[in-house]
Amino acid sequence: MDFADSPDDARFRRELRAWLAANKAARDERVPHDDASLADEFALLRAWQRQLFDAGYVGLLWPREYGGRGAPPVQQAILNEELARVRAPQLLNRVGINNAGPTLIAHGTEAQKQRLLPPILSGDEMWCQLFSEPGAGSDLAAVRTRAEREGDHFRVTGQKVWTSYAQLSKWAILLARTNPSVPKHKGITYFIVDMTSPGITIRPLTQITGSTEFSEVFLEDVLVPATNVIGSVDQGWEIAMTTLAHERGTGFAFKEQVLARIAVDDLGALARSHGRATDPVLRQEIARGYVDVEIMRLMNCRTLTRLERGQDPGPESSLVKLFWASLTQRLHDLALEIQGPDAVRADGRWPMAFLWSRVGAIAGGTSEVQANIIAQRMLGLPRG
């Protein structure tokens, strides 16, 4: 690919930078404080998403008929780069925008698209993802939540876990087993579930950071209309692969690449502030981080090239996700090493960021799962 912006892309970048500069004060007001409650954080981030949506910067890749701009993938990458560069707040409805929306566009009926897609971009209707279970996280195909057909509904019973913003969501994408008599990758169906349905119980989970963003969700005889099936019954695994490819795709990766570059630059400043700028071992580790960020950028460009050609992200997205998870943990380990005893303080950027970096090897598919995908689907190795 051409690494320089095309004239159209350069114009898009200039316009975006000008908008971000003009809205700096309003943008900074949307950044949640460390001690903000989940409700306060939700309100701030929802307002920020609405502000971006009104400016036309949410859902760039989506077709125009569903509220998007039909933009080329490179402009979505530019958007994520520029938002990360100014350290803007993240979008609130990420599951809807990155996961559910593209899946509906690819596999949903026209009626499903018309009803469900427009409120995703504006943030009027939040989405969550009911995939992982206590016994089916790393092995997603082992889901045991059951969905039994009863006339024009399915009766769903089971338990999900690590569901972001479950208590604040209107809709969920759900994987449930509809045929236990076939191999586990078969017999799974992909549903849309109304989170206000009777029989749903949500229990927030307190994380090591103190946040309650994640929840466990219990479903007891929840009735889901058959019209809420995405694709065909028993064919949900293939559709889930679309969701996961987008979750780990370039939109996520370009943002994290820029944030990693910012972290490397900040590590240099941190080393200088602690009188360790001449430490040869430390300098080598910071240089390694810089090189790794460049490697990640090139991997992202490869994925972007696939998207520009109309191809799916493919298993290469697992390679990027695995690389990023390792990189972000190494960078934050290094930050705490530089700080020494100061790292035990509860305040400050680095201690909290260190805790969040642990999530990288779990969220969006564990590093072990990503390694298996790379081994089997990219290298052609047999299952272990």
Alpha-carbon gap, residue 81 to 87, rounded angstroms = 10
- Note the pLDDT of residue 117: 96
Hey, where are the domains in the chain?
7-92, 127-235, 248-378
pTM of the model: 0.84
Annotated catalytic residue, options 125, 133, 216, 247: 247
Angle between helices 316-339 and 280-308 (to 10 degrees): 160
34: pLDDT strictly greater than 70: no
251: pLDDT strictly greater than 70: no
3-state secondary structure of 326: helix
Active site (annotated) includes residue 125: no
Q: Which fold has domain 248-378?
A: Butyryl-CoA Dehydrogenase, subunit A; domain 3 (1.20.140)
What six digits make up the tokens of 95? Answer: 């599951």
Give the type of residue at 357. S
Could you tell me which CATH class the domain 7-92 is placed in?
Answer: mainly alpha
- Of residues 130 and 27, more confidence is placed in 130
254: pLDDT strictly greater than 70: no
What six digits make up the tokens of 179? Answer: 């045929």
Q: Which of 3-12, 109-118, 354-363 is the least confident region?
A: 354-363
Residues 6+ apart with CB under 8 A from 109: none
344: pLDDT strictly greater than 90: no
What six digits make up the tokens of 162? Answer: 């690590």
Q: Which helix (H) or strand (E) holds 214?
A: strand 214-225
- Note the pLDDT of residue 252: 60
341: pLDDT strictly greater than 90: no
38: pLDDT strictly greater than 70: yes
CA 56 to chain CA centroid, Å, is 20
pLDDT tens digit string along 266-306? 999 999 999 999 999 999 999 999 999 999 888 888 887 87
Q: Which of 295, 294, 292, 303 is nearest to 252 (CA)?
A: 303
Q: Express as a percent the part of the chain with pLDDT over 90.
A: 59
Q: If DSSP states are collapsed to H, E and C, what string results for 331-342? A: HHHHHHHHHHHH
Question: Per DSSP, what are the bridge partners of residue 166?
Answer: none
- pLDDT, average across residues 204-208: 85
Q: Which of 160-169, 275-284, 313-322 is the least confident region?
A: 313-322
238 half-sphere exposure, CB direction, 13 A CA radius? 10
- Note the pLDDT of residue 352: 82
What CATH number labels 127-235?
Answer: 2.40.110.10
- Note the pLDDT of residue 248: 61
